[in-house]
Chain A
Amino acid sequence: MAELTFREAVAAGIAQEMERDPTVYFIGEDVAAAGGVFKATVGLLDRFGPERVRDTPISEQAIVGAAMGAAMTGLRPVVEIMFSDFLATCWDMVANQVAKTRYMTDGQVSLPLVIRTANGGGSRFGAQHSQSLENWAMAVPGLKVVAPSTPADAKGLLAAAIRDPDPVLFFEQKSLYGIKGEVPDLEHVDRLGKAEVRRDGKDCTIVALAAMVPRALAAATELDGLGIRATVVDVRCLVPLDTKTILGEVKKTGRLFTVEENPRLCGWGAEIVSIVADECFDDLDGPIIRITTPHVPLPAAQAMEDEAMPTVARIVDTIKGAMR
């Protein structure tokens, strides 16, 4: 075990897989010589050379398209889309081409590729560099969707994504890049589609993703002081979704709260609420409540952005109010 930052863990995950598999290539804007605008790929160019670690022009359609063409012909490309907001400029590639081609050809084509992208708010960048877009990806059949919350998961889930035979969108919440955590030194490969229970409590279940996980954990600690014991589930992977773990924890506590960074409508939590309502309605002791960003583009100013995203205080207040 070594203590790494989240960004170092991302680089370690890519390096581990490039070392192991010569068909893994990595491309993106400013990712090679500059080591990425978030410095999450520092050292890869030196270690693996310019054939396998390449800077691209600002051409998101060409980046994702090239990855697709390479993936269908024997490579295992990893690409970076600098900000998840820029997925909008290549959404045809992601949603129409990468996601659908296996199905439309009835399995003639396999697309083992990973699209890594910096996602989410908290950096005062304004509405076009701060969106939390996991739910866009989740709405398209044919894409796997991962969003880790810890450095260890960043390495292990990224390795699993690279080894996965299908296309994976890997969302790295940019406010997490600087956090530190223990990461296994040796080969570390996690499993897609498995949620983690980060904390056990008997009174309610909080389900959170990526940067909302540490906030949910902080809220749970505060709730302890109020006599409310909360379980926190880190979803980690939206597709495939570990409904077994989520349903199991909801059954134990009888209450469910989701904490979502995305704007209100059609957030991933809505799907979880629907599944819980369908499959364990009789286990519920009260209404299910979603804690989200309001349905607005994310504002830039510190005071506004901080208040718009779910805060620890809002999570505590909401749960306290609902559990009275």
Chain B
Amino acid sequence: MIAPRKGEARIDEKTRLRLYQLMVELRDFEQRAYDLFVENLIRGTSHLALGQEAIAAGYAVAMRKDDYTFCTYRGHGHTLARGASMAAAMGELLGRANGMLHGKGGSMHLTDVTHGAMGSYAIVGAHMPIAAGAAWSAQARKSGQVAVCFFGDGTTNIGTFHEALNLAVVWKLPVVFVCENNHYMEYTPIRSVTAVEHPAADRASAYGLEPILVDGNDADVMYETAIHTIGRARSGDGPSLVEALTYRHGGHSRGDPATYRPKEEVREWMTRDPIQRYRERLASLGIDDGALRKIDEEAQRKVDLATDEARNAPPARIEDIESQVWSDGGSAWRN
């Protein structure tokens, strides 16, 4: 396995602070989403990415503004990391008219095309060929854009994973596939249902790709991995497949207390929490604690404002039920 080295000296302070800020914002948003569930203000389901923030932040900071993000139903963080409105995301979770999708998509489908967040996809693996298609389009238009596709470890056992990787390699597409291996496909340990130890990295060689296995809880490592893989795609050298090791703080979705995970394992991973680790690293690099505290406070304030805006927004409009099936804005199927 080849992992990019931790070249601390090559990441400047401004970038590091940005990585920290993004991770804290994503953490606070997800924590608030959890609290609103407990209050029963958010209905349906939701899949939180608490603990997996370094992957979203590392890539988002490395991406060009017009690059494409494709993510899964565990996609709040990836969508916000591209610059989407937090109030609109919260509004969508709450089923409000100010929601990012005006209530039509919900938690599992956050999309903000204007920020390159090309959608959260709720059928496991579906977005891998779709991301390859966006990369195909970028290649055809010679736009220099790159598509980055995030998915879970469970996705590595569904057909689209293999179809998309093969096509992306054959057509040398500018796409980066990032497996967020949180070690559980849903409730079942990924190792107990997978033929190889590393569900993505061990499959890379089958597609002629370099196996890339990295610490997904280290924001510097993720940022460097992003720079490396996005750069490779942008320069015409084709796709990459990255496996980033990480861990969910909580269960698969709302209502899953994750009791299937050994306590010792949870304790061990909590000591590797990406935000706590990064905070300590920044301190050790001499970054003033006051600057970090200010970032913490601002993130909290941002989430508070977004929550207030969403809570005060009216419910999603029933007049919109029959709109936007077609490009003419309507849903007519007959004359």
| Interface residue ranges of A34-86 to B (CB < 8 Å) | 51, 54, 56-57, 59, 61-75, 77
Residues of A close to B159: CB separation below 8 A? 61
B130 in contact with A105 (CB, 8 Å) = no
A65 in contact with B130 (CB, 8 Å) = yes
B126 in contact with A107 (CB, 8 Å) = no
B244 within 8 Å of A by Cβ? no
- Cα–Cα distance between A57 and B334 once the two chains are bound (Å): 37
With A104-B105, A193-B335 as contacts: A61 and B163 at CB distance below 8 Å: yes
Interface residues of A (CB under 8 A from B): 25, 51, 54, 56-57, 59, 61-75, 77, 92-93, 96-97, 101-110, 112, 141-142, 165-166, 193, 239-244, 275
B166 in contact with A240 (CB, 8 Å) = no
B331 within 8 Å of A by Cβ? yes
Task: Determine the main DSSP class of A at the interface with B.
Answer: mixed
B134 in contact with A69 (CB, 8 Å) = yes
Contact partner of B170 (CB less than 8 A), chosen from A57, A61, A242, is: A57
Contact partner of A66 (CB less than 8 A), chosen from B70, B132, B323, is: B132
- Cα–Cα distance between A108 and B126 once the two chains are bound (Å): 19
B137 in contact with A70 (CB, 8 Å) = yes
Interface residues of B (CB under 8 A from A): 68, 70, 101-102, 104-105, 109, 111-113, 118-119, 121, 123, 126-138, 140-141, 145, 147, 159-160, 163-164, 166-167, 170-171, 320, 323-327, 329, 331-335
Residue of B nearest to A64 (CB): B129
- Cα–Cα distance between A65 and B335 once the two chains are bound (Å): 31
CB distance from A249 to the nearest CB of B (A): 14
- Cα–Cα distance between A110 and B145 once the two chains are bound (Å): 19
A104 in contact with B137 (CB, 8 Å) = no
B129 in contact with A62 (CB, 8 Å) = yes
Known contacts A65-B127, A72-B130, A239-B333; 14 further A-B pairs (Cβ under 8 A):
A57-B166, A62-B132, A62-B164, A67-B133, A70-B133, A70-B140, A75-B136, A96-B126, A103-B104, A104-B101, A112-B327, A240-B334, A241-B335, A244-B335
With A74-B141, A240-B333, A243-B334 as contacts: A62 and B136 at CB distance below 8 Å: no
- Cα–Cα distance between A151 and B159 once the two chains are bound (Å): 37
A65 in contact with B113 (CB, 8 Å) = no
With A56-B167, A241-B334 as contacts: A65 and B126 at CB distance below 8 Å: yes
B126 in contact with A69 (CB, 8 Å) = no
Contact partner of A102 (CB less than 8 A), chosen from B118, B121, B128, B326, is: B326
B140 in contact with A106 (CB, 8 Å) = no
With A62-B166, A65-B126, A73-B137 as contacts: A109 and B113 at CB distance below 8 Å: yes
